[in-house]
Amino acid sequence: MDNNSGHHFIAIFGGAVAGSEAAYQLASRGFRVVVFDQNILPYGKIEDGLPKWHEKLRDKEENKINEKISHPNVHFVPGVQLGKDIDFVDVAKNWGFTAVLLATGAWRDRPIPVDGIDDYVDKGLYYQNPFVYWFNHYHEPTYNGPTYEIEDDAIVIGGGLASLDVVKILMIETVQRALEKKGIKTNMFQLERGINKVLEENDLTLDDLGLKGCTLFYRRRAIDMPLSSAPATTPEQLAKVQGVRQKILDNFLKKYLFKFEPCWSPAGTVVEDDRLTGITFQKNEITDGKVVPIPGVCETFKSSLFISSIGSIPEMIQGIPADGQVFKIDQDECCQLEGYDNVFALGNAVTGRGNIVESQKHSKAVSLALMDEHLHWQEEDYQAWLRGTESGIQQQLNVIVDRIERKKFMPEEVIQEILRKTKALQSKTGYDGDYNAWVKKNLPVRLEDMLD
């Protein structure tokens, strides 16, 4: 341990994959760290965005986060949202932290690019992030969040993993409820392994259940969907990858019995009685890899429910400079926030996408937006992504630490004042500093335990 490291205090906002790894790396080098998280537990999209049928992966990765944040040099502060419960400028300039790291992730849905359509959120239109959050938690006896009504024949707009997760949720929920009406008991885990198999076992079809199934609308072709991470730098490789993408989608269509409409982009709305009841789509063609609208070819599709799943972007926070839909940073290898010499961004708060530009020396994996880009969620793939995330964070921290160690040591009175403010915030949620006891007390009820 570097004895001098203890003279610095680092703040990290966000305690999930990127934030917990940064906290652990810094704490292991002897730095004192405060991890602020907007949630009661610091699991981010592993808890709230990874659909709950991935229970083994979820538990394994949350345990790894627990191991990192329970390091004795890490002070955890739950239930504190940057920009709401705590002021960013105040923390960055007045608290006295040597450095502030932003690992807040991408929690805001990318808006549908249709004028006025957001006027109908929760009136015929849902967005992916709150919808999946509801699905992951509504089974909990104490759940008091938003409730979402599931409709048959819904339309999902998107084309990555997140949109396929939304499609699976819709099909699982509607089929399970329809089976229950016929007196057939099943559960989410059985249906997730294949709705087609469950129906075959009961000699039933969607028609027999009175269901049409939902439809996924994508602005490109099936062969363009980001469903394979294999390289495609030559025409031969591209043809092979496109074949794999088509095969993967076909397999999903077979297992979950939804429909697919390629090459349509949302362009207009149909509103009745202050509800979104239809969307006019523009037909596209793909030319030299680009989406090209076909002039004059539009069609209106009606439904009682539309769900947008076209990507996630960071939530903008007062005081943090923005560059469009992401944080504005100086283009250096440690992602320093523009206008601040002690604030650095980690993960997809930098780009709002599933990768960080190579000039920033991040692994492509340093982002939870990979959930939008990789389909199978095989454990080995997920583990490879997480290890890549850790490697990317380590690379970035090497540069950040070098800058930190050039700074003057913090006076003891500043350290004590940070500790005082930290404890005051902890007390507001009843957190007493025992991280493992806090996790045990606040871990949500698991669906699999309720089914035992």
Domain boundary among 310, 337, 366: 310
Asked if residue 234 is part of any domain, the answer here is yes
- 180 located within any domain: yes
| Domain membership flag for residue 280 | yes
> pLDDT over 70 for what percent of the chain?
88
Distance CA 18, CA 268 (A): 38
Q: Does a structural domain hold residue 450?
A: no
Bridge partner residues of 302 (DSSP): 278
Q: Specify if 272 maps to a domain.
A: yes
Residue 366 to residue 385: CA distance in whole angstroms: 8
The answer on 122 and 20 residing in a single domain is no
Where does a domain end: 310, 340, 365?
A: 310
Distance CA 452, CA 448 (A): 7
| Average confidence (pLDDT) over 123-151 | 96
**Contact at 8 Å (CB) between 422 and 77?**
yes
CA dihedral sign of residues 390, 393, 398, 402: negative
Domain carrying residue 328? 3-107+313-445
Q: Does residue 54 fall inside a structural domain?
A: yes
- Verify that 248 and 280 share a domain, yes or no: yes
Split at pLDDT 50, 70, 90, the class of 329 is: confident
- In terms of domains, do 164 and 304 share one? yes
The arithmetic mean of pLDDT across residues 20-35, rounded, is 94
**Half-sphere CA count of 54, side-chain side, radius 13 A:** 23
What pLDDT digit, counting tens, does each position of 42-65 carry? 999 899 999 999 999 899 999 999
Q: What is the pLDDT of residues 412-423, one digit of tens each?
A: 999 999 999 999
Would you say how long the chain is, in residues?
452
pTM of the model: 0.89
Angle at 163 between CA 158 and CA 164, to 5 degrees: 130
For residue 343, list its beta bridge partners.
100
Candidates 367, 417, 366; CA nearest to 394 is 366
Same domain, 195 and 266: yes
- Mark whether 28 and 100 lie in a shared domain: yes
The confidence band for 396, taking pLDDT boundaries of 50, 70 and 90, is confident
Banded pLDDT at 321 (limits 50, 70, 90):
confident
Amino acid, single-letter form, for residue 139: H
Tell me the angle at which helices 235-256 and 161-181 cross, rounded to the nearest 10 degrees. 20
**Do 161 and 375 form a contact (C-beta atoms < 8 A)?**
yes
In 3-state terms the chain splits into helix, strand, coil percentages (rounded to 5) of 40, 20, 40
35 & 118 share domain: no
What's 96's domain CATH number? 3.40.50.720
Collapsed DSSP state (helix, strand, coil) of residue 232: coil
Say how many domains are in the chain: 2
The span from the CA of 392 to the CA of 357, in Å, is 12
Residues 160 and 198 in one domain: yes
75 and 128 both lie in a single domain: no
Q: What percentage of residues in the chain have a pLDDT greater than 90?
A: 70
Residues 103 and 116 placed together within one structural domain of the fold: no
The string of pLDDT tens digits covering residues 346-377 is 876 664 443 323 222 333 333 333 333 333 44
Beta bridge partners of 291: 286
Q: Are residues 92 and 123 in the same domain?
A: no
